[in-house]
Each structure stands twice: as structure tokens, then as C-alpha cells.
Amino acid sequence: MHSTTSEPSASQPPAAPAPGDAHVPLPATTEQAVKIAVVGGFGVGKTTLVRSVSEIRPLNTEETMTRAGDGVDDLGGVEDKRATTVAFDFGRITLDATSVLYVFGAPGQERFWFLWERLFSGALGAVVLVDTRRLEDSWYAIDRLEAQGTPFVVAHNDFGEADHSLEEVRAALDLDAAVPLLRCDARERDSAKQVLIALVRHVRALVTEGSR
């Protein structure tokens, strides 16, 4: 964690929304900003989750998908997708009078994965969002986070349709038993918030265990 009263940049929390945007002003008493990254494969719902939990109008870098991406981006399972994140999404949640949470959503296509390292920098932890239609897209995110020692939780975004049990998802991902795995609907604010709460609790548990 670090202390700051400024809004993020690319590797640290981005600028606040432009004047005129509907957003909640950053409290003047803010002393601490906590950064969380949301990663995962293409089309799993990262932008949707950031949009659901953010108290401000999210900063999105979505672009319309064109034929230029044919043969480059794999649309298997998400054939109806029409726009994609090309840098990152950014949202903000005020935790209390002195603390705010910055949420960064990473781009999902493999050609943009090089940006993930900057988004991981300084992060308290990460959420790996998975979709059972494209589970293999989640392996890289899990491998990178494990290699860097960054705490993370895995959230199965099922959009309200439980097609597989969490036990099946854990087995398919070969996920360590110590890593929290939960179900969510990224479209629902309360459901998305529970994912962030699970991550904070996981980080706290690791800190407590490490201090013994």
C-alpha cells in the first residue's frame, strides 16, 4: 500500500474523469490509495466488473473491433463481442474518509498482455476473472501472478448461469487449494463487490500468517 492524494497514471492510479463527468469527488481527507488489478482472458467480463463496482464513471479504453483483428484475436465462445479494451479500464471506490481503492481492468487479448506487468506494479493483489468457455485464457494470468508472488483470487464469471461447479473449475485450472475461488456475475454490483472483498480478506490472511 502507498499514500497518495493524486489519481493514477498508467503504472500508478490514472487521472480523474474529465470535468463534467458524473463522478464522486475524491475526498480531501484521502491519505491512502490501494490498487487492485483485474485480469483474465478475452471477453471474460473485466470491463463489466470494473463498471459495476466503480463509484465514478469508469475510464475505458474500448475500441470497436474491426476486420483488422481477423486471424489475430480468437473469438471462440465470444463471437458476439463488438468492442475490446486496448489499454486498461479504471474505476474507483471510496473505502472510508482516508482510503480509496483503485481498480484496473487489464486488456484480454494476448497481443496486449505485455501491459499487464505495469498494471501489476504496486498492486495489493489481483482478481483473475474466468469464463468456462475459454478457461485456457486464464492460465497465463495465474502463472504470472504466481511467479511474481502477487496475491490473487479467481472469480468464475457465470453471468448468472452456473454451468460448472467450482470444484470442476478448480480442477480444470489446476488451482492451488489455498487460492480462493468464487462465483460471480460481473454485471451485478453486489456480486462484483464480493469478489473484491474476498481478495482483501485473502491478502489480510496472508499478511497475518506471514507475521506469525
Q: What is the mean pLDDT of residues 169-182?
A: 95
pLDDT of residue 211: 74
Instruction: Tell me which of 42-46, 169-173, 183-187 is least confident.
Output: 42-46
Relative to beta strand 89-94, strand 99-105 is antiparallel
Strands 83-85 and 152-157: unpaired
- On the question of pLDDT at 53 being above 50, the answer is yes
Alpha carbons 135 and 129: distance in angstroms, whole number: 10
The residue ranges of every structural domain in the chain are 29-210
β-sheet bridge partners, residue 183: 156
In angstroms, rounded to a whole number, what is the distance separating the alpha carbons of residues 32 and 60? 23
Question: Residue 97 is placed in which grid cell?
Answer: 474518509
pLDDT in tens, 111-141: 666 666 777 778 899 999 998 888 888 888 8
Distance CA 46, CA 31 (A): 27
Residue 6 pLDDT grade (very low, low, confident, very high; cuts 50, 70, 90): very low
What is the CB-side half-sphere exposure of residue 101 using CA atoms within 13 A? Answer: 20
- Show Cβ contacts of residue 35 under 8 Å, excluding neighbours closer than 6 positions: 8, 12, 13, 101, 102, 104, 122, 123, 124
β-pairing verdict for 152-157 and 181-184: parallel
Residue 171 above 90 pLDDT?
Answer: yes
Average pLDDT over residues 17-26: 52
Least confident of 81-95, 114-128, 131-145, 169-183: 81-95
Q: Tens of pLDDT along 146-156?
A: 988 999 999 99
pLDDT at residue number 184 = 95
Nearest of 23, 29, 9, 39 to residue 195 by alpha carbon = 39
Using CA atoms of 83, 160, 189, 3 in order, give the dihedral in degrees to the nearest 10: -70
Architecture of the structural domain at 29-210: 3-Layer(aba) Sandwich (3.40)
Q: Hey, what's the cell of 162?
A: 452456473
Phi, psi (degrees; rounded to nearest 5) at 198: -60, -40
